[in-house]
Structure 1
Amino acid sequence: KNTFQLSANDVLQGAALARFTHIDLKRTRVLVLINTRSIYSEGLAEGYQNALKGVQGVSIEKHLSSGHELHLENLKTKIAKMQPDLIFISDDILNSAILAKYIHTLDPLIPFLSGSQFGNDKAMKILLKEVPKMRVYYATSWSERENNIENDKFKLSYREKYGRSLPTPEAALSFDSLQVLAQALLRADTNSNLDRVRYFLEHLIFGTTQGKISFVSGPTHSPIKDVHIQVSNISSFKFLKTLRTTWKAKP
């Protein structure tokens, strides 16, 4: 009863990547790979598939796996039969890179879509250095490549607490979640119970890793969060676009 989710990052990323698939990439045959041992992977896939439900002309097939036990022969058969024009590896970017490297040998023309950049550009380059023509799109909760006043403020605030190193997307997301929780606790009076804190958390609007938090009244509001889309063709990594998407808070 008194539990709450600070961030719907997986659902948000999935929805943003689905929108990116349909509107920007204009892909119609998508194969979704889901790691059943990962809550993040399943949540990402859920957000992705829900956002594409009912979209005319888009067909989705799923391939379930458990970590590295992918049943590669079955996957190979499915790819040959479906001939997807996009493979969405619903997992973090490093796990995705390992799978993409193998799948790329089956069909070098298929582009890949992935989840968060768990790790860094250097790690991706090491994993994928032998396949320079591979194109991988991925989502992240924060992009250091987007230069603006809010990002600069956040970097300064982060450095004050954690030293000179730039935050990773995951560290930035954790920082953001802590700010949300701190603000919720401040807004709740000392006599209130956890249900009231939970209400605040579920009905606030917040920016991404910038501490822009405002509390709103009424049950119809949902958190709003930016999701950044990055693109990598291995030789270069660049910020591609920012998508703003919403997630309906669970009752």
Structure 2
Amino acid sequence: MFLHFQLNALSCITAAVLALAASMAQAQELQTVKIAHAGPTSGGIAHIGKDTENGVHLAIDELNAQNLVIGGKKIKFELVAEDDAGDPRQATAVAQKLCDSKVAGVVGHLQSGTTIPASTVYNKCGIPHITASATNPDLAKPGYKTSFRLIANDNALGAALAIFAHDALKLKRVAIIDDRTAYGQGVADVFKATARQKGMEVVGEEFTSDKATDFMAILTSIKSKKPDAIFFGGLDAQAGPMLRQMEQLGLSSVKFFGGDALCTEKLPELSSKAASLKNVTCATGGASLQKMQGGAEWKKRYDAKFPGQFQIYSPYAYDATFVLVDAMKRANSTDPKAYLPFIGKTQFKGVTANIAFTSQGELTKPAVTLYTYKNNVRVALN
């Protein structure tokens, strides 16, 4: 009887020890993997930067709900959010900080002027980054194997707008303004070249900055040249007041073209719902939310978590996060050196599109959508 009691007690102790060991092993197997978002969450376009950060945040929450096991370890993803303030020097500092903290991958940056210098830093430390928004073709020119883009570049955006201006609207005279950034100049140059190829006359060229708010002098100069349209290579933070000032100068009938960085949900607010808003045609590098294969359901989930914050790039930032993790799963490793080669072999069915990359990190099948604004709401034209 006593021996039986001892055996039972020993059995209970053994079971408790085994359970504790199993619990400790499980705890040891949990690995935190940091995925970073880098973009402007302060300053004039903080609303756009926050939107992309939200996209990464939503993706990480959904990935963590999957209880993934990679390389034999349970994975918990953690968002590391960094503000580059839309400044190239701050962007490179942020990139170095993320390298030093050994994040597994980066979604960012937002603008071409920040993404291009940051890409050099990521290339040196071997961390993959996917931009959901930067469109200047120069990003791909160095051939960095760490750089990827999830939308069409300026060659597609600027050309599509010029072709629409000539073929659909039959415009003949256009003036061009750019904000002297890598993005603004890049998309303006493509529009200008394509417009001239189509036989349109460029009657004036002006420039401003991505911090300016007063455009009366350059708009007055342009008005004297009687353009049918103005193309602006720049951000919604400048396009909004520019549209207001066009109205004040009697330019409300002049068409207004721009790329994806001004093609936001916030443009009506930034323009104070100016009458000139109805003349806007802008382009984004991807399908409209309504035509994305997972857009409608994704938007419901986004709005539930971040009500009233949607702008433009968050679906692409969401997909970029999933593309990084998809490569980790296929490599069975969260080590950037191990999973980086697998990004280039991506065949991923995302919310925005079926995603695959060229050898230069560009999408194999980029889409372009044109938008206008009706009753102060952005609507797709194609």
User: TM-score normalized by structure 2?
Assistant: 0.48
Q: Does residue 13 of structure 1 match 2:153?
A: no
Amino acid aligned to 1:239: V
Do 2:324 and 2:343's aligned partners in 1 also have CA atoms closer than 8 Å?
A: no
Q: In structure 1, what is the equivalent of residue 371 of structure 2? A: 230
Distance 1:16 1:208 in 2: 24
> 1:72-111 counterparts in 2 under 5 A?
72-81=216-225, 83-104=226-247, 105-111=249-255
> 1:129-140 counterparts in 2 under 5 A?
129-131=273-275, 134-140=278-284
1:86 Cα deviation from its structure 2 partner: 0.8
1:101 Cα deviation from its structure 2 partner: 1.5
User: Any idea what SS the aligned residue of 1:128 has?
Assistant: coil
Q: Does residue 30 of structure 1 match 2:174?
A: yes
Q: In structure 1, what is the equivalent of residue 76 of structure 2? A: none
Give 5+ residue unaligned stretches, structure 2: 1-143
> 1:1-251 counterparts in 2 under 5 A?
1-7=144-150, 9=152, 11=154, 12-36=156-180, 38-50=181-193, 52=194, 55-60=197-202, 61-67=204-210, 68=212, 72-81=216-225, 83-104=226-247, 105-116=249-260, 117=262, 119-121=264-266, 124-125=268-269, 127-131=271-275, 134-140=278-284, 141=286, 143-144=288-289, 146=290, 150-155=294-299, 158=302, 162=305, 167-186=310-329, 193=337, 197=341, 200=344, 209-214=351-356, 223-233=364-374, 235-242=375-382
Amino acid aligned to 1:100: L
Amino acid aligned to 1:237: V
Do 1:10 and 1:43's aligned partners in 2 also have CA atoms closer than 8 Å?
A: no
Give 5+ residue unaligned stretches, structure 1: 243-251
1:71 Cα deviation from its structure 2 partner: 6.5
1:90 Cα deviation from its structure 2 partner: 1.5
1:72-107 CA distances to partner (integer Å, 9 max, x unpaired)?
A: 4344223313x2111111223342121122123242
Distance 1:89 1:232 in 2: 16
Distance 1:80 1:44 in 2: 24
Distance 1:215 1:9 in 2: 12
Amino acid aligned to 2:279: R
Between 1:130-139 and 1:17-26, the stretch displaced more is 130-139
Amino acid aligned to 2:223: I
Do 2:328 and 2:339's aligned partners in 1 also have CA atoms closer than 8 Å?
A: no
User: Any idea what SS the aligned residue of 2:380 has?
Assistant: strand
The 3 A distance-change label for structure 1 pair 165 and 209 is farther
The 3 A distance-change label for structure 1 pair 126 and 96 is closer
The 3 A distance-change label for structure 1 pair 44 and 181 is farther
Give RMSD over aligned pairs.
4.0
1:185 Cα deviation from its structure 2 partner: 4.8
1:118-148 CA distances to partner (integer Å, 9 max, x unpaired)?
A: 6525x6146333537852222234534x267
The 3 A distance-change label for structure 1 pair 31 and 173 is farther
Do 1:84 and 1:110's aligned partners in 2 also have CA atoms closer than 8 Å?
A: yes
Instruction: Please identify the structure whose Cα radius of gyration is greater.
Output: 2
The 3 A distance-change label for structure 1 pair 194 and 21 is farther
1:33 Cα deviation from its structure 2 partner: 0.9
Between 1:15-24 and 1:2-11, the stretch displaced more is 2-11
Greater share of helix: 2
1:193-251 CA distances to partner (integer Å, 9 max, x unpaired)?
A: 589639817xx7888843522467x88x9532222222124x34352323xxxxxxxxx
Between 1:222-231 and 1:207-216, the stretch displaced more is 207-216
Q: How many pairs were matched up?
A: 232
Query: Identity percentage over the alignment?
Result: 18
Distance 2:349 2:230 in 1: 30
User: Any idea what SS the aligned residue of 2:158 has?
Assistant: helix
Do 1:151 and 1:210's aligned partners in 2 also have CA atoms closer than 8 Å?
A: yes
The 3 A distance-change label for structure 1 pair 32 and 176 is farther
